[in-house]
Amino acid sequence: MVALPIDTAKFTGIICAVAPTPRVANRETGQLRVDRETGQTVFQVGLCLMSATSADVVNVSVAGEPSGVQNGLPVQVRDLVATPWENDGRHGVAFRAAEIKPLTAPASSASSGKGAGQ
């Protein structure tokens, strides 16, 4: 699988559309999905990715619970990648981020909020 990086600076806004929820690995037992590298629970967040002419809601996985991320709040996403997948004739794209956090720039430094390369 090849993970394709997504330049989040190209979006005019990113808003939390669905609050973080833990991902379930086994529906029968209720066992939660765990990140292989960190051992943290994997959470899924619905994000509305907005551009000048369109908006799409995608589910993004992230290791660890994104603190302070709530419905309707603008967020900052670090290292967003898309990974195409195919399984038993079904296919799609899985989105994953290294970090999702609330976008809380003070009014005095609002102009510095445009840089997504942090």
What pLDDT score was predicted for residue 16?
Answer: 97
What's the predicted TM-score (pTM) here?
0.82
Residues of the chain scoring pLDDT < 70: 1, 105-118
Residues 8, 48: contact at Cβ < 8 Å? no
Q: How far apart are CA 61 and CA 114, in angstroms?
A: 24
Instruction: Count Cα atoms within 13 angstroms, Cβ side, for 112.
Output: 7
What pLDDT score was predicted for residue 2?
Answer: 86
Q: How far apart are CA 66 and CA 18, in angstroms?
A: 12
Q: How distant is the alpha carbon of residue 8 from its chain centre?
A: 11
What pLDDT score was predicted for residue 1?
Answer: 67
Of 102, 111, 40, 53, the closest CA to residue 77 belongs to 102
Which domains, from first to last, does the chain contain?
A: 4-104 (2.40.50.390)
Cα 99 to Cα 42, 56, 90: the distances in Å are: 11, 19, 28
Instruction: Count Cα atoms within 13 angstroms, Cβ side, for 49.
Output: 15
Q: Pairing mode, if any, of strands 55-63 and 24-26?
A: unpaired
64-76 b/e (C-beta count within 10 Å ≥ 16 → b): bbbeebeeeeebb
